[in-house]
Amino acid sequence: MRELAKSRLEEIQRLSGDLSEARKEMDNYKVMQLSLPEGVVKETAVYRTLQCQYTMLIQEAGQLRAGLEESRNILLAARQHHFSQLEEIR
């Protein structure tokens, strides 16, 4: 039982050391990421893909806005036509 506890303690200490090393490494990567020049980031495939998707979404949003405006105009025209028909009935 004592040997099992000792081995578990050693394992926990080893894992704790590994965790602190991983945290240090992660912090180093964060610093490296923040110090990357903008040109390097813009040359990556991920950036270009995201930029393309963003452009497509902006275009789609513009099309949806135009469709919404057209639908509003149609609704207003139909409403006005309906009210004029109601006036004629009276």
Please determine, for residue 4, whether its predicted confidence score (pLDDT) is greater than 90. Answer: no
Please determine, for residue 1, whether its predicted confidence score (pLDDT) is greater than 90. Answer: no
Per-residue model confidence as pLDDT tens digits over 54-85: 999 999 999 999 999 999 999 999 999 999 99
- For residue 28, the model assigns a pLDDT of 95
Please determine, for residue 33, whether its predicted confidence score (pLDDT) is greater than 90. Answer: no
State the average pLDDT for the chain: 94
Give the C-alpha separation, 7 to 90, whole Å: 95
Average pLDDT over residues 7-27: 96
Reduced to 3 states, what is the DSSP secondary structure of residue 60? helix
Who's near 26: CB < 8 A, 6+ residues apart?
none
Average pLDDT over residues 23-28: 96
Give the C-alpha separation, 30 to 58, whole Å: 30
Residue ranges of domains in the chain: 1-35, 38-90
- What is the value of pTM for the model shown? 0.54
